[in-house]
Chains A and B, each alone.
Chain A
Amino acid sequence: MPNIKNRVRNGDGSLDGKTVLEADGVTKTYDSLLPFVGRTVDVLDGADLTIEAGEIVGIVGENGSGKSTLMQILVGALAADDGSVSVDGTVGWCPQEPLLYDRLTVRETFRLFGTAYGMDDDEIVEARDHYAELLSFEQFLDYRVDHLSGGNRQKINLSVALMHDPDVLLLDEPYTGFDWETYLAFWSLTEELTEQGTAIAIISHFVSERERFDRIVELADGELTDVTDEDLAASGGPGSGAAAEAGPQSPGVNAGD
């Protein structure tokens, strides 16, 4: 379980309650430069979000509500029309679709992204082997990314986001395609990371096990609302009903791969 009251990053309790990510009044509208093409869509309308060190926050919302747009703005992959985002520390981003180089092997992928993060060869090998063992893809290190199954590709996608031990982790549907064992390993990992002080935001259509989160915010009509204490089951909202009774059939998780 996340242990927000017991977070200590590298043995330093001074991080308690420290805001590591703050989004203020983020606004985004999709438009086209070309006339008569597409339409204007207001996706975000003054969205506010703060995440503290060691906190794990779920961001939920309906399809098309703008969750992935929000995450791309938080990570810097997309510019907001208005508002600001500030991050204190390094960021790890796991996009919804694995953004990797198809024709590189897993080993080469770690080398490339590790080099991008400024890690030396030993650090890259150490991180690669750690996550390969944790998420069970050691046997695929010499496979090309485009020869991997969807679930294994997602493991690499997630590991690339984690390998440099970031202060803030932004994960967009990170466990899609995971088998049950990997799903459980993922949550053990998040627990370990939050105990070290890593702040984690996870986007999902559903929050299948809401007790794993410190807070849950819902994106609707372009704004974020804290719904942690709301009875979403009664309202039929995200994280409701059967989804809250998590098991091997949790959304996006495969009973077997």
Chain B
Amino acid sequence: MTESGRAGRVRVGVDAAVRSFLREPVQVAVLLVLPLIVIEGYGYAMTAFPELPFMTESAETMGRLNGAIYAVAFLTGVLGLFQIISAQLADERLQLCGYSRGELFVTRLATVVAASVLVAAVSLAVLAWNVTVEAPLLAFGALAAAALVYGLIGMLVGAILPRALEGSLVLVFLVDADDFLSSGMVDIDTAAVELFPLYHPHNLFQSAVDGSLAGGRALATGAYLMVLLSVVGVVYVRLTGNGGVFGE
């Protein structure tokens, strides 16, 4: 098949995936409303938290920053999971009709990228209402990266464990623990924390908010995303269509 032919197939697939996503208004509304609730909720909940010496911002602001990261990561994580499992059987039929798994992966990824951009923009807008963001573009990039990291992890969980409840539970615990341990709210003296998916986006985001602009974090975030993208792509192509490792 020619490159233009393949591009046309991917375009039709992306078009179908995005239309399917947008035609679930409640789903879209949740993506728009939940960041507001989570960010403001986290901020309010943290007002009573003591201000510890290693904290760079007030507890309330740190609560809002953590809330923003949590909101984008969890929402796109669940979306990534359901991109894989919600139409699993129809996807298998589409593969038998001629789409390659690689092409299907690209169409699902495109929807996750679009959702990542959307929730990152909404979350930044909500955050900027109460918090001064020194470098908004970089902050947007960091939030979008955090969203995309967990969108990919959601797709990975969906490929390995294609079950709605179990997959969602895995993501709840993963995002919660990752967000807390990567946040700087607690002083963790181990290098292992740097391997957590949200560690680099979190630090990049914080530096964009306070203006310290940690450029090295941007490189680390990009590298992490590239590695993760490759791993998820390989796992998706190898496992989907076979029912995952722990499928029905």
Give bound CA distance, A116 to B12, whole Å: 9
B93 and A95 contact, CB distance less than 8 A: yes
B12 and A111: CB pair below 8 A? yes
Contact of B92 among A34, A91, A99 (CB under 8 A): A99
In the complex where A115-B12, A116-B9 touch, is A103 in contact with B19 (Cβ < 8 A)? yes
User: Number of residues in B with C-beta < 8 Å to the partner?
Assistant: 23
Q: State whether A101 touches B90 (Cβ < 8 A).
A: yes
Known contacts A77-B92, A93-B96, A100-B90, A115 near B20 by CB under 8 Å? no
CB distance from A163 to the nearest CB of B (A): 10
Q: Is A23 an interface residue (CB 8 A)?
A: no
CA–CA, A73 to B42, complex, Å? 52
Quick one: which of A93, A99, A111, A117 contacts B90, CB cutoff 8 A? Answer: A99
A93-B93, A99-B92, A101-B90 given; A116·B98 CB < 8 A? yes
Could you list 13 examples of A-B contacts with CB < 8 Å?
A33-B246, A75-B96, A77-B96, A101-B16, A101-B90, A102-B20, A103-B23, A104-B16, A108-B16, A111-B12, A112-B12, A115-B13, A116-B9
B99 on interface, CB distance cutoff 8 Å:
yes
B226 in the interface (beta carbon within 8 A): no
Closest beta carbon of chain A to B39's beta carbon, Å: 29
Interface residues, chain B, with chain A CB atoms under 8 Å away: 1, 5, 8-9, 12-13, 16, 19-20, 23-24, 87, 89-90, 92-94, 96-99, 245-246
Q: Which of A34, A99, A102 contacts B93 (CB 8 A)?
A: A99
Q: Chain B residues near A33 (CB, 8 Å)?
A: 245-246
CB distance from A224 to the nearest CB of B (A): 22
Interchain CA distance A102-B90 in the complex, whole Å? 9
- Produce 1/0 per residue, A64-88, CB < 8 A to B: 0000000000011100000000000
**CB <8 Å contact, A116 and B99:** yes
Of A75, A93, A118, A144, the residue contacting B98 (CB under 8 A) is A118
Known: A99-B89, A101-B87, A101-B90. A112 touches B16 (CB 8 A): yes
Chain A residues, CB < 8 A from B1? 118
